[in-house]
Every structure is written in C-alpha cells, then in structure tokens.
Structure 1
Amino acid sequence: MKHRLSIIIGSTRPGRAGPIFAEWLDGFAREHEKFEPVLTDIASFDLPLLDEPHHPKLAKYEKDHTKAWSKAIDAADAFVFVAPEYNHFVAPAIVNAIDYLLKEWRYKPAAIFSYGGVSGGLRAAEAIKPLLTGVGVMPIPEDVALQSYRKLLDKDRAFQPSEYVLGEARIMLDELFRWSEALKPLRAG
C-alpha cells in the first residue's frame, strides 16, 4: 500500500512560485510510485493567526478552518514542505499552520523542498526543523534546495529541473519513504 504524501505549499503570497514546484513534485512523486501524493495548499485553508481558544493538544477545535486543516494533515503519512525563504527565515504561513495542530503531525517524517536566492532557502529549511520536532514530526536530512529559483523557470513559469535537482528529489523521496515505513507502527499505535 502506498503512503499518503502531503505536499504542503507554504507560501500564501500572491504571485508565489510554490505551486509551480509543488505541482512538479506531485508528478515526480507519482512516477516514484511509493507515494500517493496530495497537494495541500495552506492558502486554500484561509488560516488566520492561530485563533482557536483551546490548546492544540486537546484537539478541541471550534473553527471550521481548523477542522478542515486537521483532517488534511491527519490523513497524511509523510510531508514535503515546499518552503520559500522570507528574510532569512521560514514563511509565517508555515509557522502558523504547524502551530494550529499537534497530534495530527505526530510520528510522521517530513522533508523540505526549499527555494530562494543564493541560499536556496536553506535558512528557512533549517528554521522549520526545530518547529517540526516540537510537534512530533521527524524532519529528515535529505532536502532539495533551489538556488536562484527564478532561473529554473522558463518564460511560461514552468519548472525546468536540472539533473542534479532530479537526483536530489529522488533521494529525498527514497529516504522519506524509508522513514514513513519505519514510523508506521508508531502511527498505528
């Protein structure tokens, strides 16, 4: 049985590039054949700054947007965060979305597919990892970082990955699958 991979689009900014990379990764993950990928766009959940009156550990959600977000995250076995770097840090929408929930994240692995300027979003990727471990996610070390990402988009804004990026994405998915398999008993318990 394939593992359900939630590809989380972390930018909510108008004109964002995240959906371009997420849609490419969705197709790539389907060809990989170990995952059932699902695009999960934080923007579509319209999450305001954390507005639930109860702590997420209680899972006593009152808002419809939180209930929908909880259902989407709970259904996943693994995650890839498609994460831009904003001001040497992770996009605020990602931080907010992670903070909304607790039990839904537990015992699941995550990889980061970051993009940015010269750093390729690596500072954002590293900033996400402690937050993920705080909610029980296992961030794996195998990530993809796109340096100067605009140069990887053609005139129609289609992603043109290099052989190097293809290889790194394959390694990332292979390792994410291994971790998802290893954590499966914990998710079941």
Structure 2
Amino acid sequence: MKLAVISGSHRNGSESGKVARYVQQQLASAADVSSTYALDLADNPLPLWDPEVRQPSERWERVWSPISAELTASDAFVIVAPEWGGMVPAGLKNFFLLCTRGELAHKPALLVAVSSGTGGAYPIAELRMSSYKNTYVCYIPDHVIVRSVTGLLNDPATPQSQDDERIRARLRYALGVLLQYGKALQQVRESGAIDLARYPFGM
C-alpha cells in the first residue's frame, strides 16, 4: 500500500511537521507499506479554492494535478493538524476543499492533532464533523492527540521520557489499525458499488 501524510501547519519548522516526519518514518518501515508521500502545507503553498478548480484550468492543472495524482495513488492517509485558536488552520481546510476528484474517497484516514499545551481535541472534532462530506474520506475510530508536543518525538530513535514512549506506542497502535483499514477499504473501492460520477457530493 501507499500511504500519504499531510502536515497541516502553515509554519516552517512546525511541531506538526516534526510529528508528520516521525509518522512517515514509522510507516516507511512497515511491512505492508510499499511507499509514502508527504505533503507539508508550510507557507501555505496551495492557492485558495475557487470554482475554477472543478473546470479545465491551466493554473489548477499545474498546481494541483501533481498533488492530486499522489493522493489518488494512495490507499490511506494520516492528517496531522495543529490547534490554532481552537481551530484547524485555514490551509488545511482549504486542502480538503481542493480534493474534488475523489482523491480521498472511500479511503481510511487517521487524525493526529498537535498541541503545545493540553489542548488538541478541537481539531479532531472539527475535521470529523466537516471535512468528510464531499471528500468521502473515512476517518477511522482511533485518533491521536500529541499534547505538550515540544517535549515529544524530538529524537526519532529514542524516547526521552515516559510520555514520549507512551505517545509513540499509541501512534504505533493507531498506524497499525489504519493499515488494516487500508487493506479492507481496497475491497470496497474495487467492489463496483462506488459511483462518484453520479454521486460526487455527500448529503
């Protein structure tokens, strides 16, 4: 399987980017993973959504099509979302608006929220509530919240504390569950039951 990891922070050198790189490293060593793809939204490189994205457009073909192809070829996703003012960053919400070609459809995703303090629950709730409708992404029941992130995952190889070991164990578990969902939902997409041409939007 191919797995894609999306880092939703706009900031260069972000803690979300650090978490995303750790996750990608863990996935790259998994037996069921043939390749990984990383999309880092640092500096918000994606233009804001506009209706032209659904029409033939040289600008969107140049900017979005290479990313769309990588996502379409992926079987499962990890979405790393920081909490900014109790919300998901605008660039990450914009990313979901751009996924209009079935890139995420009927594929599992693991949500990983990031907080410098004891927060992190709001991005999970927001994304579960609002980002699945037209993308048809299937969030698995498990999620991970990396709280007090500045003290965690700083050494990819060696935990630095009990909390560091605990979050690594939770990530290993959740990624293992994600991979099993990835295998299972391949059968759903191959079943012939999916008709995105007729039903491109959720209700």
TM-score relative to the length of structure 2:
0.79
Say yes or no: does 1:53 pair with 2:55. no
Q: Residues 161-176 of structure 1: matches in 2 within 5 Å? A: 162-176=164-178
Give 1:100 shift: 0.5
Say yes or no: does 1:148 pair with 2:148. yes
In 1, Cα distance between equivalents of 2:49 and 2:91: 10
Give 1:52 shift: 4.5
Partner of 1:75: 73
Partner of 1:12: 10
In 1, Cα distance between equivalents of 2:154 and 2:3: 27
Partner of 1:184: 186
SS at match of 1:12: coil
Give 1:8 shift: 0.6
Q: CA RMSD in A?
A: 2.5
Native 8 Å contact 2:53 2:98 kept in 1: no
- Structure 1 unaligned runs (5+)? none
Percent of aligned positions that are identical: 26
Partner of 2:120: 121
SS at match of 1:170: helix
Native 8 Å contact 1:89 1:127 kept in 2: yes
Q: For residues 13-57 of structure 1, give each alpha carbon's deviation from its aligned partner in whole angstroms, at most 9, with x where no partner exists.
A: 2342222111111111223322232222234882111135154xx
Give 1:97 shift: 0.6
TM-score relative to the length of structure 1:
0.84
Partner of 2:195: none
Partner of 2:196: none
Partner of 1:24: 22
Native 8 Å contact 1:45 1:68 kept in 2: no
Q: 2:31 aligns with which of 22, 30, 33?
A: 33
Distance 1:154 1:53, change over 3 A: closer
Which amino acid is the alignment partner of residue 128 of structure 1?
Answer: L
Distance 1:154 1:110, change over 3 A: closer
Partner of 2:97: 99
Larger radius of gyration: 2
SS at match of 2:168: helix
In 1, Cα distance between equivalents of 2:53 and 2:148: 41
Which amino acid is the alignment partner of residue 140 of structure 1?
Answer: I
Q: For residues 77-103 of structure 1, give each alpha carbon's deviation from its aligned partner in whole angstroms, at most 9, with x where no partner exists.
A: 100011101111111111101101221
Distance 1:54 1:169, change over 3 A: closer
Number of residue pairs matched by the alignment: 182
Distance 1:153 1:167, change over 3 A: closer
Bigger share in helix:
1
Distance 1:37 1:159, change over 3 A: farther
Distance 1:66 1:159, change over 3 A: farther
